[in-house]
Amino acid sequence: MLKIIVCITLSWVTFYTSVATACSCRYAGEFKEYTSKRGGVIRGKIISYGPKLSHGKTLYESMVVEIIDVIKGNYSKKSLTLLGDPGHLCRAYVNSERFAIGTEYFFQYMLKNQAFNHWVDVESLRL
């Protein structure tokens, strides 16, 4: 009987621990509101992708963005490499279907880890 209780307890702990550590996307507010508090903001054009990930046909490790304008922050280089999620970091994926080469976006980025979490398609803002 003790073995059954131990097995059930371990199974329960294993299941709920794995559920608790999984990441999920949460709404962080409007782009303007969110970016006013964190990181820098650039307007950039997708110019290339880094190595392809082993999972997913359209997923890449990173993308290179040509800097068109620095909206917030200080960034003097002509391009920025933004890192996507390799599958376990709870960051945005670099997906070539979403981020097609030649398209322009406003990106909120963090220079310390080159991650981007929020973006807005420039075309969607045009009237």
What's 104's domain CATH number?
2.40.50
Query: Is residue 50 one of the residues assigned to a domain?
Result: yes
Q: Work out the average pLDDT over 35-57.
A: 88
Quote the pTM value: 0.70
The rounded distance, in Å, linking the Cα atoms of 72 and 117 is 15
CA torsion sign for 69, 75, 76, 79 is: negative
Is 15 contained in some domain?
no
Contact 107, 99 (CB under 8 A): no
**For the segment 4-22, what is each residue's pLDDT rounded down to a tens digit?**
665 566 655 555 544 445 5
> Does a structural domain hold residue 19?
no
Residue 104 has pLDDT above 80, yes or no: yes
Whether 102 is covered by a domain: the verdict is: yes
Residue 92's nearest CA partner among 111, 116, 60 is 116
Residue 55 lies in a domain: yes
Q: Which domain holds residue 89?
A: 31-125
Average pLDDT of span 34-56: 87
